[in-house]
Structure 1
Amino acid sequence: MGTLDWIVVAGYFFVMVAIGIWSRGRVKNIADFFTAGGKMPWWLSGISHHMSGYSAVMFVAFAAEAYRLGLTVYIWWSLTIGIGVGIGAFVFAGRWNRLRAKHDVASPLEYLARRYNVPTQQLMAWCGAVLKVVDIAAKWAAVSILLRGFAGVPIVWGIVLIGAVTMVYSVLGGLWADALTDMGQFVIQGAAGIAMFVAVAAHLGGISFTWTIWEKLPESHSDPLSGPYTFTFFMALFLIKTLEYNGGMWNLAQRYMAAPSGAAAKRSALLSAALWLVWPLVLFFPMWAAPLIVPGMDGNAEQAYVEMGKAMLPAGMIGLVLAGFFSHTMAMVSSDANVISAVITRDMLPKLWKGVANLTADAQLKLARATTFLFIGLSMVIAITSGGQGFVLKVVVDLVAATMGPIAIPLMLGLLPWFRKFGPSAAIASVIGGLGVWAFLYVEQLQKAAFVTKGVLVATPLIVSLVLYIGFGLLKPEPSKDRDVLLESLNHDDDTKPADDEPLSVKA
């Protein structure tokens, strides 16, 4: 990287910090910090939802899979998310928003105490928080690998640099800072992605490269599903991503909650779905063409995108592309930090420390900022100790994708009226059973058991969790009038709260 590239990167960091400082003035209370007070425009909510859904993992782990296997990574990743979010626009988005509007919910898990009971809420909160801190550590590792590849910056210093900037604007500005930086990052990554696409097109003879490269690549690179990514894996991931990206990944539920109404949340989800279907194609085509530009990297494919960028881009543009990598990771990490802070502050700490309920509004806001700081710091420490290389894909697929289903099923299906009689027994059995099966399979995988393929590792915990939730729900129904009232209130927008709908923290 040259001087101009470093100027671009430094300018990017400066803008992100400035947004955080400016956003601090918009945060007056804990509702502003966690849900933007329900005042976020639907289009900003949609862009923020999209940006918060992926990170530099795309340019490391997924780029490596695109290099080795071709088209399949778009099919099992981007396509499943785009379709899943589109479905969720009609099923989940409005319901998340009405939890905030009608019940003063500021954390996606806050409603679980009333929907099931407090033990269920705490089980899911602790399991999800542990999962999230490891997931974010993988994101730090991914972006630090890219920074090392482009600029020779050691992984530890890369994590410290990017983490510190993210920490500043996340702690200061809350969800408003997250969303506004998401918007700026959306513009930056748009310019960076188009720059790489144009550079590759110019190198390979024009836009026709998008259909001519397949004749020059191995035949299997054009297969929709190939390698370890089977139809079973695809179907399991489709269900997982539908749950995950409609709120199972807690930070994405926040984007729906921050919109002004349920109808606005639906529009934001449709915008995000459209972006998921179209924009990744612009990013993936250079990755698919990479074997023709930087051949012979199958053994070190995580560096393929870096090497192609260094070979194809002029001074200044490398810095822009690197800033684009940062934008993905920082968008996801800041949103995750905000929602984890919400879960800890609103759901976990009050059960451990009764004094939280008596804190002043100002003290609650300070506690939220302190929690955000500690979460980001812990994830950075885990990333530094991981060593980076090879850690990313293993965490993202083997851990996060495989365990997201058991955690998300009771959370997401609990919002729907069709499961109104499914109570805490079904939810607890679903979480424990699914995670227990994953733990068994993961140990078997470490011992090189041949039957534990990626499809088995991802699909089996999900299936077990779903079967347990439905089985316990049908065999041991636990109807509740209060639960019926809660679910009925989520069916439609209105201007006033129903008389019997108190804040969930009161009835919990």
Structure 2
Amino acid sequence: MPTFSNSIAPADYLILAGFFGLMLVIGFYFAGRMRDLGDYFSGGRRVPWWLAGTSYYMSSFSAFAFVAYSALAYEHGWVAVTLYWVSVPAALVSVALVAARWRRAATTSPVEFLEERYGRFMRQSLAWLGIPVKIIDDGLKLFAIGLLVSTGLGIRHPHALAWGILGSGLIMLLYTLMGGLWAVLVTDFIQFLVMIAAVLVLFPLALSRVGGLGAFVDGSPDGFFRLTSAEFGPGYIVAFLFIMIFSYSTQWQLVQRFYIVPRDADARRVGYLVAALNLVTPPLFFAPAMMARQFLPGVDDPANIYALLCRELLPVGMTGLIVAAMFAATMSMLSSDYNAVAAVLTNDIYRRLIAPAASGRVLVRVGRLTTLIAGLLSLAVAFMIVASEGESGLFDRMVSLFSLFLPPIAIPMLAGLLTRRVSNAGAVLGLAAGILVGLAAYIIRTTLAAPPDADPATFTAAQRLAALLRGNQVMTALTASTALLGLGVGSWLRPDPAAQRARTDAFFTRLTEPEPAAPPPAATGPADFSPLPFIALVTAALGALLLLVVLLFVSLEQGLPSLFVGAGMLLLGLVLWMLDRRKEKNRHALP
């Protein structure tokens, strides 16, 4: 077996540079094709289901999965896969409950339906509350990417973290700003291919290092393949399932994939594809970390296990590709978030409150401006975290504050799609009560907490309450139950007036009436073209780049796995191109 370099080589940097360059090419390609708000934020609602589904999957994935779940797999074994598999029933629940309803309820942004369902106040409230939550979340993701740059690439510069955040953040912002949703979708698909290619190389290399499947099973600790553990038991998994259902059914960047496809059946196919990918990919992603227990024992910080695996096993060229894959995972989430936040800013705030008669071209320009604003604010949050290097608690406080807002925002949205029994007053009370109780609990747990070295047996009643509220699961349950109680009490005490009930009835009629048998009328702009040939060209170009770099800079023995991957991507690009040509030929042959 050849010995691979355990550091980042110049060839790997060339692969990374080429990868980022192709992402920008995609943005430039779609920049001139955005004619109106529908093109920029919903792809003209003609996006193929397989492209929307792959983008949904990538938008729910991030470098966090590589780091946190791999660390969990290294320490606890198969339970990491079990926890990720929770997303499978969550995706199926979203298909059963809301996929088709989202496609009918929303057109350009995920909160526009709230005005028809509840009233103007709820639409504006969830828009103004959701935007800062998303921006804080995106700042945390940018910080994670910066850590990958500064540690994964082995850069020693004192400002490597800040430069990594700035560089990757600006690249994502640029292609999202230029090409709108189509650029996000196509880059997501390319990034998916890169991530899968890199992991498919790492898995067999790790399996070979431990001596095969039998040796892997025999050499693992007792209980390493159990579905649960003492720390992550059935109760934890059930609670996590409810959190994932909320996320998969209401997160702006995810549900956007339901309403950009042409038909209800396509929206359901999006969810089924996500469920299938979430079932198949976790063992491939996290099994190498489990195998590392045998050839990389005693790692001090398991959060570094994926980076250590790459340095230990991957050949030159593939190291750059898997670092690109880690970038890709988080870049997909961020670019989707930028587009979704900009959709709300443009459609639900600018067009609704400032310029209702704005033309399509003006709205596209405003959409680009709001994308820029969302991206720059996220960068500012990330730099705030960098500046707080002496305050390790800031990161945790921001994560906790973000978790407080999810249930109170998600529950009224979900209820608005599922039942006509919830009134506008009930939605407002549920939203307000959930947020206020969550903030009160957060203040209690931060101001009344006992000193870190205090004996729990000596805690006062207030300190015991603060300790209980430290668990994010408890906080999530508290805010969710309060929001649900507010929905019920408010709807009972103050039902909607007759005019609002009539609008609600019309809204649910639109959600539930049979779909027309004929397909929707043809769209204009970028929605009436197939993205497949462009995807084929970019895929082939990435494969050709990998082949060229390895042939020029790496010995054949070291570069053989990378050559196979490059050839595979080049061949896949050619196959996709031929499939599109065949489809186009058949379409023209029809009378």
Per the TM superposition, whether the score is higher than 0.5 is yes
Aligned partners of 2:415 and 2:422 also within 8 Å:
no
Aligned partners of 2:426 and 2:486 also within 8 Å:
yes
Aligned partners of 2:136 and 2:398 also within 8 Å:
no
Q: Distance in 2 between matches of 1:341 and 1:54?
A: 21
Aligned partners of 2:228 and 2:234 also within 8 Å:
no
Could you tell me which residue of structure 2 aligns to residue 483 of structure 1? Answer: 504
5 Å matches for 1:354-365?
354=354, 356-365=355-364
Could you tell me which residue of structure 1 aligns to residue 463 of structure 2? Answer: none
Could you tell me which residue of structure 2 aligns to residue 110 of structure 1? Answer: 112
Aligned partners of 2:433 and 2:482 also within 8 Å:
yes
Could you tell me which residue of structure 2 aligns to residue 64 of structure 1? Answer: 71
Q: Distance in 2 between matches of 1:459 and 1:233?
A: 12
1:282 aligned partner, one-letter code: L
1:395: how far off?
Answer: 7.1
Change (3 A) 1:94 1:392: farther
1:251 aligned partner, one-letter code: Q
1:457: how far off?
Answer: 2.4
5 Å matches for 1:368-387?
368-387=367-386
1:220: how far off?
Answer: 7.1
Could you tell me which residue of structure 2 aligns to residue 432 of structure 1? Answer: 432
Matched, 1:301 2:299: no
Give unpaired runs (5+ residues) of structure 2. Answer: 1-7, 451-465, 520-591
Matched, 1:450 2:448: no
Could you tell me which residue of structure 2 aligns to residue 249 of structure 1? Answer: 251
Q: Which has the larger radius of gyration?
A: 2
1:307: how far off?
Answer: 1.8
1:128 to 105, 130, 133: 130
Q: Secondary structure at the match of 2:468?
A: coil
1:429: how far off?
Answer: 1.7
Aligned partners of 1:293 and 1:308 also within 8 Å:
no
Could you tell me which residue of structure 1 aligns to residue 566 of structure 2? Answer: none
Larger displacement relative to structure 2 (436-445 or 367-376) = 436-445
Change (3 A) 1:290 1:442: farther
Aligned partners of 1:155 and 1:384 also within 8 Å:
no
2:243 aligned partner, one-letter code: I
1:209: how far off?
Answer: 5.9
Could you tell me which residue of structure 1 aligns to residue 343 of structure 2? Answer: 342
Q: Distance in 2 between matches of 1:63 and 1:138?
A: 19
Q: Distance in 1 between matches of 2:435 and 2:124?
A: 15
Deviations 1:360-390 (A, max 9, x none): 2211110100110111111112112213987
Q: Secondary structure at the match of 1:259?
A: coil
Change (3 A) 1:80 1:190: same
Could you tell me which residue of structure 2 aligns to residue 501 of structure 1? Answer: none
Q: Distance in 1 between matches of 2:45 and 2:239?
A: 33
Deviations 1:7-52 (A, max 9, x none): 1111110111111111223321110000000110111111111111
Could you tell me which residue of structure 2 aligns to residue 161 of structure 1? Answer: 167
Q: Distance in 2 between matches of 1:231 and 1:455?
A: 14
1:91: how far off?
Answer: 1.7
Q: Percent identity?
A: 30
Change (3 A) 1:25 1:482: same
Q: Distance in 2 between matches of 1:472 and 1:395?
A: 31
Matched, 1:10 2:5: no
Matched, 1:469 2:474: no
Q: Distance in 1 between matches of 2:329 and 2:134?
A: 16
Change (3 A) 1:489 1:392: farther
Q: Distance in 1 between matches of 2:218 and 2:407?
A: 38
Change (3 A) 1:255 1:75: same
Deviations 1:55-110 (A, max 9, x none): 1111233333333443333333x22221111121122111111124xxxx310100
Q: Distance in 1 between matches of 2:311 and 2:93?
A: 39
Change (3 A) 1:361 1:273: same
1:35 to 42, 46, 62: 42
5 Å matches for 1:76-475?
76=83, 78-100=84-106, 105-153=107-155, 154-208=160-214, 211-212=217-218, 215-216=220-221, 219=223, 222=226, 224-227=228-231, 229=232, 231-246=234-249, 248-298=250-300, 300-350=301-351, 353-354=353-354, 356-387=355-386, 394=396, 398-416=400-418, 419-446=419-446, 447=449, 449-452=466-469, 453-475=471-493
Change (3 A) 1:395 1:174: farther
Q: Distance in 1 between matches of 2:218 and 2:429?
A: 51
Q: Distance in 2 between matches of 1:343 and 1:258?
A: 15
Matched, 1:494 2:499: no
Deviations 1:213-269 (A, max 9, x none): 5x326x477451443x454443232122112112x1101111111111111111111
Could you tell me which residue of structure 2 aligns to residue 506 of structure 1? Answer: none
Deviations 1:292-330 (A, max 9, x none): 3433335x3322221221122121111011000011111
2:228 aligned partner, one-letter code: P
Q: Distance in 1 between matches of 2:346 and 2:410?
A: 20
Q: How many matched pairs?
A: 483
Q: Distance in 2 between matches of 1:235 and 1:133?
A: 28
Q: Distance in 1 between matches of 2:274 and 2:441?
A: 34
1:439 aligned partner, one-letter code: L
Change (3 A) 1:209 1:281: farther
Give unpaired runs (5+ residues) of structure 1. Answer: 498-508
Q: Secondary structure at the match of 2:47?
A: coil
Matched, 1:44 2:40: no
Aligned partners of 1:138 and 1:383 also within 8 Å:
yes
Aligned partners of 1:438 and 1:461 also within 8 Å:
yes
Q: Distance in 1 between matches of 2:408 and 2:215?
A: 42
1:156: how far off?
Answer: 0.6
Q: Distance in 2 between matches of 1:183 and 1:295?
A: 35
Q: Distance in 2 between matches of 1:410 and 1:437?
A: 16
1:399: how far off?
Answer: 4.2
TM-score, with length taken from structure 2: 0.77
1:161: how far off?
Answer: 1.3
TM-score, with length taken from structure 1: 0.89
Change (3 A) 1:65 1:255: same
Deviations 1:375-424 (A, max 9, x none): 111111211221398789847963444432221111122111xx202112
Q: Distance in 2 between matches of 1:232 and 1:487?
A: 35
Deviations 1:486-505 (A, max 9, x none): 111112422699xxxxxxxx
